[in-house]
A and B are shown apart, each in its own frame.
Chain A
């Protein structure tokens, strides 16, 4: 029995776990965006709050994944809850940092002229700053997605969902001929998702970036 025979027999589970993996990463990504983008918008003009937010998000990202999952089990128990929380915390830095960098990268002269045209602060943010910062924000989301796809594999160690379960099944069947196949199925599933996510973000960037900003 080679790898492809094994995959053919196991594809239903691989697909189900791939689905769980995608949902898990999306949950973390959406939560991090809902928290991180408003946080960046609120703090990007004020030096102290901005550096505090970035420092805290930096500390989150520095905490090793197994330790963060472990710390979150204490209040949240095993399963999906600590996994989603940890992924949200990891995604915060790329999301917040890129939003801040994007918003701060907007040419002050552009904002000045918008104000001269009579736009309010809120209008400038919605119509000028966010659209101009959008490509950078998308890049942050893309980086966060790549990060989360890998880290989400650890969630299986705390009885969470996703493709990590195949990797750990491989580990627990070490010594059998299927061990390598199981681990490979988990790994390749994640690599394929990473490649697909990159393509999806490239497409999203093209479709959603303001027309005047496109390079081509």
Chain B
């Protein structure tokens, strides 16, 4: 019996290394509509739970629309910057490392990235914060979180490109396509499903990791959780935690749909 490959990614997110099968009719509807319905129900329950509380002054400082919205926007803004940087670094790097001349570097780079993955995110954020005191807090948070999210995208880009059959590339070359054309019109489209799975993992990972930016004062929804812990107010703590969890699950849901839509037809 062949040893099955590890079906799980070592880092968060439900996205596996490989794309799942395209869900069929009723299942797909349930998956597309079920998740947002459940998340909205959770938010409604949270609203009722907070509404039933007589908030004291400390609780009101965190639990007002203006504060919560500002932290949500900060959270989304940081996440967006991080994800754009991850894609801009990891995809070209993955393509470069699978080109014939550079292939011998791909092993060491992946090994280094795998060891790097063992570093806890909070450790990286704190280390950067105490080592590069002169950097701005947002630069520190973004750099640390980007470094952490590169691996899933890099690895899946390389795996996706590597699994393209040499025979397919050969026939494309035989049809008169140049190297660049083969990359753009054959290899990348065939690698897209695996790449998308990695991008989805990185997205969910990023939204979750940005919640740790609060520890170095870089804002985001983690602030609400920290306020709840430091002021010993359960209602604040629960609100912050639920908002972060709902945000991550919503991003995962959205990325799942994008994954299905962008997957090239015929694969």
Q: Inside 8 A of B182's CB, which chain A residues have their CB?
A: none
Q: How many A-B residue pairs have CB under 8 A?
A: 171
Residues from chain A with a CB closer than 8 A to the CB of B121 are 150
Q: Does A167 contact B (CB under 8 A)?
A: yes
**Residue A199 is within 8 A (CB to CB) of chain B in the complex:** no
- Near A by CB (< 8 A), chain B positions 241-261 give 241-242, 244-245, 248-249, 252
B78 in the interface (beta carbon within 8 A): no
Interface of chain A: mostly helix, strand, loop or mixed: helix
Q: Does A19 contact B (CB under 8 A)?
A: no
Residue pair B237, A73 in contact (C-beta under 8 Å):
yes
Cβ–Cβ contact A71 & B245, under 8 A? yes
Q: Please give the number of chain A residues whose Cβ is less than 8 angstroms from any Cβ of chain B in the complex.
A: 61
Which one, A78, A107, A135, contacts B3 given CB within 8 A? A135
| CB < 8 Å neighbour of B123 from A139, A173, A186 | A186
Taking each of B7, B9, B204, B222, which has the highest tally of chain A beta carbons within 10 Å of its own beta carbon? B7
In contact, B120 and A74 (Cβ under 8 angstroms): no
CB distance from A200 to the nearest CB of B (A): 14
CB proximity of B7 to chain A, nearest CB, Å: 5
Instruction: Tell whether, in the assembled complex, residue B215 and residue A67 are in contact, meaning their CB atoms are under 8 Å apart.
Output: no
Complex Cα distance, B4 from A139, in Å, reads 9
> Roughly how many angstroms separate A200 CA and B253 CA in the complex, as a whole number?
36
B228→A143 contact, CB < 8 A: no
The smallest C-beta distance from A183 to any residue of chain B, in angstroms, reads 5
Please indicate the chain A residues that have their CB under 8 angstroms from the CB of B11 in the complex: 147, 150
> Is B127's beta carbon under 8 Å from chain A?
yes
Measured between beta carbons, the chain B residues less than 8 angstroms from A68 are 241, 245
Closest CB-CB distance, B177 to chain A, in whole Å? Answer: 38
A94 interface residue (CB < 8 Å to B): yes
Q: B-facing mask of A154-172, CB < 8 A → 1, else 0?
A: 1001100000100110110
Q: Does B209 contact A (CB under 8 A)?
A: yes
Q: Which of A71, A164, A173 has the most CB of B within 10 A?
A: A71
Residues of B within 8 A of A70 (CB): 225, 228-229, 237-238, 240-241, 244
Binding-face segment, B55-63, B96-104, B128-136: B128-136
* New contact pairs (7) apart from A70-B244, A170-B126, CB-CB < 8 Å: A58-B14, A64-B209, A98-B6, A143-B8, A146-B10, A180-B130, A187-B119
18 examples of A-B residue contacts, CB within 8 angstroms? A61-B14, A63-B249, A64-B12, A65-B208, A67-B245, A73-B237, A93-B8, A132-B1, A143-B6, A150-B11, A167-B120, A167-B122, A167-B123, A170-B127, A170-B130, A171-B130, A190-B118, A195-B118
